[in-house]
Copies of this chain bind each other. A is one copy, B any other.
């Protein structure tokens, strides 16, 4: 947890965002309704709107929190090296598997960037860019691969017996080779 993205809000607004995040992680997206958030905070749903503009903004607060946490996970990694890319990818997958509902909310739709805590998206993206040695195209390809593997795994899209560790390795090795020999 980071609680860093939640600054600049009233305590009550932070309490509401925390309740919403907890609800999401416990019960999934269907559990995240304004009425249930309100119930958890001890008020009625319409009163939420005294603190939060609407559900989209509430979700944006949660997403900001998620980006901050993801950035922290990256930044806790051993400092760069020859297989920095593999490390970042492993951390990415780990985050998503640890917090699947949050990851889905963060990545499943267009981002309301204007509602996000400023800078938090770029901060989470930075480590991957560094791991590819500043190669934008490779970084985007690597992100796409990581997100694709992750979300397809979360959605149970691969065949039942599929060895995903090996598929991850195949992809990471291919991308790392492309980066190592420019």
Contact = CB atoms under 8 A, between A and B. Distances in A.
A171 B175 contact: yes
A111 interface: yes
Binding site secondary structure of chain A: helix
A98 to B, nearest CB: 19
A105 to B, nearest CB: 12
A152 B158 contact: no
Interface of A: 107-111, 135-138, 140-141, 143-149, 151-152, 155-158, 162-164, 166-171, 173-175, 177-178
A167 B140 contact: yes
Contacts of A173: 178
B145 A152 contact: no
12 contacts: A137-B167, A137-B169, A141-B149, A141-B170, A143-B148, A144-B149, A144-B152, A146-B148, A147-B152, A148-B148, A148-B149, A171-B175
Contact of A171 (B136, B141, B147): B141
A137 B174 contact: no
Given A174-B177, A178-B174, A147 B137 contact: no
Nearest to A179: B174
A168 B171 CA distance: 14
B108 A156 contact: no
B156 A144 contact: no
Contacts of A135: 170
